Amino acid sequence: MISLFTMGYARAQPIPLLPPPPPEKRPEVEKIAENDRMAPKIEILTSELHDGKNVFKVRITDESSLRTREVKYVHDGQLRVDGLFRDQNDVYKALIDIHSPSRIVEVTAGDANGNIVSAFGEYEISKSQDIFRQIIDMLSQVINYFQNLFGR
């Protein structure tokens, strides 16, 4: 009987480092311009809406900090109000779930000085896109995101 015996050396493996702690969330300092009597400027960036969930984009600019940023629309016969969340370069986004026959989306913005403005867009709600078109749109949005991130 022949027995084979192999001996190996244990290899040391370094302990992985812990990931860095998340950045501290510093609350945004509210900026109040002294002579700000102008209401915020709203520019609706979304040009078309499809039946179902959509990302609704607007650009809101003002000298003072914004206190109110919301989008209103009708969903299943009820008025629905969703908050707009800051993206980049004064662009704000909201995920809205809109279905035909709803057509109007209203955006309201108010600044720290109490100036409030509303704007609305009227849309033809188109049927949902096929999956191929959705993938193409998503890839297009990813390319646009990186172009905006790194400059053109």
Q: In terms of DSSP bridges, do strands 125-126 and 49-50 run parallel, antiparallel, or are they unpaired? A: parallel
CATH label, 41-150, candidates 3.90.1150.10, 2.102.10.10, 3.20.20.70, 2.60.40.10? 2.60.40.10
Asked whether 122 and 99 are in contact (CB, 8 A), the reply is: no
Q: What is the pLDDT of residues 138-150, one digit of tens each?
A: 888 888 888 877 8
Instruction: Please tell me the predicted confidence (pLDDT) of residue 24.
Output: 58
- Domain residue ranges of the chain, discontinuous segments joined by +: 41-150
In this predicted model, which residue has the larger pLDDT, 60 or 131?
A: 60
**Radius of gyration (Cα) for the chain, nearest Å?**
25
Instruction: Please tell me the predicted confidence (pLDDT) of residue 73.
Output: 94
In this predicted model, which residue has the larger pLDDT, 44 or 138?
A: 44
pTM recorded for the entire structure: 0.65
Q: What is the pLDDT of residues 80-125, one digit of tens each?
A: 999 999 988 899 999 999 988 888 999 999 998 889 999 999 998 8
Asked whether 48 and 122 are in contact (CB, 8 A), the reply is: no
